[in-house]
Amino acid sequence: MRYVMSQKLFSLADSFSIKDETEKDVYFVKGKLFSFGDKLSFQDTEGNELVFIDQRLLNWGPTYELWRGADLLAVVKRELFSFIHHRFTVDVPGPDDLEAEGNFLDREYTFTRGDRVVATASKKWFSWTDTYGIDVADGEDTVLILASAVVIDMVCHSDHRRH
């Protein structure tokens, strides 16, 4: 299914809206003001928190934990020593880790699990800033992938935040 993610401009904290392919709101991401490191709440349209995104400050490189209630869902981290193009790992408990690779500055990248592409992010169909599509394969954890895309956006586009 295709989702459209947009960063809300002119907000005091990081916030995003995520719509489905019919342009219906399905998720919101709301940043917390006055916190050490990024802290965001990934919510459904009724305000129920689905994932809490928490930046770990004392790590080598940008590192974020994704929490589903009291359970650690994943750790999203940018690889430090990838010179040709950047790479992010989405370390989930067990053997189902994801890797995101591509051109993050232009918002053109893929999520893979092993040799299989499970999601693609692309801005090529959207002309306005900070808006892009994310196609998630059937059977994948949509919230995990979309929350990971939020983290990647914040890490790669921190200079465009808090307009």
Residue 124: left (phi > 0), alpha (psi -120 to 50), or beta?
Answer: alpha
Q: What is the CATH number of the domain that holds 64?
A: 2.40.160.200
pTM of the model: 0.87
- Residue numbers of the domain that contains 13: 2-160
Span 53-63, pLDDT tens digits: 999 877 677 89
Of 25-34, 132-141, 146-155, the range with the lowest mean pLDDT is 25-34
Percent of the chain whose predicted confidence (pLDDT) is above 90: 54
Angle at alpha carbon of residue 47, lines to 5 and 143, rounded to 5°: 45
- How many domains in the chain? 1
Backbone angles phi, psi at 129, to 5 degrees: -70, 155
Rounded Cα distance, 150 and 154, in Å: 6
Q: What is the pLDDT of residue 45?
A: 96
Q: Choose the most confident range, by mean pLDDT, from 40-49, 74-83, 84-93, 152-161.
A: 40-49
pLDDT band for position 7 (50/70/90)? Answer: confident
Structure tokens at 53: 């995104």
Span 50-93, pLDDT tens digits: 999 999 877 677 899 999 999 999 999 988 765 556 789 999 99
